[in-house]
DNA sequence: ACCTGAACACCGTTCAAGT
DNA sequence: ACCTGAACACCGTTCAAGT
């Protein structure tokens, strides 16, 4: 994490800005070569700044994903534990649905030392206190982990990317309440 | 659906066989050009037989997906309605997990008249009687559709393709029973 | 009717050469 | 140190020419 020379930093920011526009138009599978061209840099420059497509995606969505993470504490302050968690999961879903393909990067990083911002980790940290509170209020099963909750939201986002006819909000509702048998005898 | 001339049929079958091997090695994103070469045909021939990658994928998995669909009636005969449905959903999940990327094609066809076998439609038809029976036994909420049930299974498969660390069976269990609050007062 | 080989327009990665 | 432009090895699609 060295500090960049002025011209390198300028290049980096132009790449991120160009990528942001390209992702909005074509999803996160947009051509890296076209992004480099839009940014006015060579493609080799883009590859040195971002060793993988995922690193570029994380950089582009760092701010917006961070904002969603930050919303967790606001919701915790304004709602009871159960609704706070469920509203926040809705917010995460809305965020990924608004940016096609973003969900593919909100998964634990396979690459180990990929340095820089990791959206998945930010969301995990944000949901942890919400989940603890919801469990304390008896609104969520005690055996559910933060990773599992995020995975379900992510799974629904991925599906929505592939099937435009799906109703993601409805599916999230089903996953929360379950479509199968109730187990009322235990609480 | 005209009947093919003998040599055209032979080409088609060689393509499907080559694709089957390639998909097993590289997932459904395997190179179509390489598949054509393995099959000993020109790439133009592949494209006339299969107008899209999805058509080829459907052809390759037609038999195995059909077998999973057929298992529905067997499970219905051997288990009570609730377990029959849940075991079958597990079978669908196992099938997609065993073939990386297959889940991306088990989604309603966007292309309208794409002729031939459609795995999604086959699974929908297979799950319908299971779902009706499970609802009748009070094991599944009455407002859930076949499409929604399949969508949740599919969503989990897609996630597993992106996140090798996920536990798909566990996530399906969570989606069925729900991780959120029980609503015992209604039945 | 069905196929082939070649041409086309793309893509991501890498490397030598510049400043 | 950082960048550029070019070279490389790919990809899917399409079309003219064969049988």
Interacting residues of A108 by C-beta distance below 8 A, sequence separation 6+: A120, A147, B163, B165
Phi-psi map region of A138: left, alpha, beta (phi>0 left; psi -120 to 50 alpha):
left
Please determine, for residue B180, whether its predicted confidence score (pLDDT) is greater than 90. no
Please determine, for residue B4, whether its predicted confidence score (pLDDT) is greater than 90. no
- CA dihedral sign, ordered B98, B103, B108, B113: negative
Entry field: residues in chain A: 187
Least trusted range by pLDDT, from B86-95, B123-132, B175-184: B175-184
Entry field: residues in chain B: 187
Q: Is residue A88 helix, strand or coil?
A: helix
- Confidence band for A116, pLDDT divided at 50, 70 and 90: confident
Chain B residues with CB inside 8 Å of A167's CB?
A: 148
Q: Is the CB of B32 under 7 A from strand D?
A: yes
Cα separation, A130 vs A88, in Å, equals 9
Interacting residues of B115 by C-beta distance below 8 A, sequence separation 6+: B1
Q: Extract the tokens encoding A173.
A: 């509702």
Chain A residues with CB inside 8 Å of B54's CB?
A: none
- CA triplet A168, B158, B17: central angle to 5 degrees? 135
Report CB contact under 8 Å: A149, B179. Answer: yes
Residues 94-123 of B with CB under 8 A from A: 104, 107-108, 110
Q: Are A32 and A46 in contact (CB under 8 A)?
A: yes
Mean pLDDT of A42-61: 95
Report CB contact under 8 Å: A181, B139. Answer: yes
Structure confidence by residue, pLDDT tens digits, B128-157: 999 999 999 999 999 999 999 999 999 999
Q: Which of A179, A181, A185, A187 to mutate to test the interface with B (most CBs of B within 10 A)?
A: A179
What confidence score (pLDDT) does residue B185 get? 43
Nearest-neighbour CA in chain A from B145: distance (Å): 10
Q: Is the CB of B174 under 7 A from strand C?
A: no
Structure confidence by residue, pLDDT tens digits, A1-12: 557 677 888 999
Taking the CA of residue B175 and the C1' sugar atom of nucleotide C8, their distance in angstroms comes to 48
* Number of C-beta neighbours around residue B5 at 10 A: 9
What confidence score (pLDDT) does residue B149 get? 98
Instruction: Please give the interface size between A and B, counted as residue pairs whose CB atoms are below 8 Å apart.
Output: 120
Structure confidence by residue, pLDDT tens digits, A133-178: 999 999 999 999 999 999 999 999 999 999 999 999 999 999 999 9
Q: Is residue B5 helix, strand or coil?
A: coil
User: What share of chain A has pLDDT > 70, as a percent?
Assistant: 92
Chain B residues with CB inside 8 Å of A183's CB?
A: 177, 182
- Confidence band for B121, pLDDT divided at 50, 70 and 90: very high
Q: What residue spans of B40-145 are helical by DSSP H?
A: 43-49, 53-78, 81-97, 119-136
A184 lies within 8 A of chain B by CB: yes
Mean pLDDT of chain A: 92
What confidence score (pLDDT) does residue A109 get? 86
* Number of C-beta neighbours around residue A179 at 10 A: 24
Cα separation, B142 vs B136, in Å, equals 8
| Model-wide pTM > 0.85 | yes
What confidence score (pLDDT) does residue B86 get? 97
What confidence score (pLDDT) does residue B183 get? 58
Structure confidence by residue, pLDDT tens digits, A29-51: 999 999 999 999 999 999 999 99
Please tell me the number of Cα atoms within 13 Å of A154 on its side-chain side. Answer: 27
Please determine, for residue B9, whether its predicted confidence score (pLDDT) is greater than 50. yes
Nearest-neighbour CA in chain B from A39: distance (Å): 29
Phi-psi map region of B115: left, alpha, beta (phi>0 left; psi -120 to 50 alpha):
left
Structure confidence by residue, pLDDT tens digits, B35-86: 999 999 999 999 999 999 999 999 999 999 999 999 999 999 999 999 999 9
Report CB contact under 8 Å: A152, B138. Answer: no
Q: Is the CB of A162 under 7 A from strand D?
A: no
Q: Is residue B3 helix, strand or coil?
A: coil
Please determine, for residue B175, whether its predicted confidence score (pLDDT) is greater than 90. yes
In our burial notation (b when 16+ CB lie closer than 10 A, e otherwise), range A38-48 reads bbebeeebbee
Mean pLDDT of chain B: 92
């Amino acid at each position: 994490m060295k500090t960049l020379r002025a011209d390198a930093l300028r290049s980096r920011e132009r790449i991120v800005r160009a990528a942001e526009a390209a992702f909005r138009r074509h999803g996160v599978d947009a051509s890296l070569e076209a992004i480099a061209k839009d940014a006015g840099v060579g493609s080799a420059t883009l590859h040195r700044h971002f060793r993988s497509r995922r690193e570029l995606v994380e950089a582009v969505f760092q701010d917006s994903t961070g904002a969603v993470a930050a919303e967790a504490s606001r919701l915790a302050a304004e709602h009871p534990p159960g609704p706070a968690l469920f509203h926040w999961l809705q917010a995460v879903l809305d965020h990924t649905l608004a940016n096609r393909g973003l969900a593919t990067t909100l998964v634990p990083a396979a690459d180990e030392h990929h340095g820089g911002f990791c959206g998945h980790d930010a969301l995990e940290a944000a949901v942890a206190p919400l989940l603890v509170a919801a469990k304390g209020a008896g609104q969520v099963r005690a055996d559910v982990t933060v990773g599992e909750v995020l995975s379900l939201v992510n799974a629904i986002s991925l599906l929505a990317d592939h099937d435009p006819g799906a109703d993601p909000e409805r599916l999230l509702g089903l996953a929360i309440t379950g479509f199968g048998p109730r187990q009322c005898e235990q609480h």
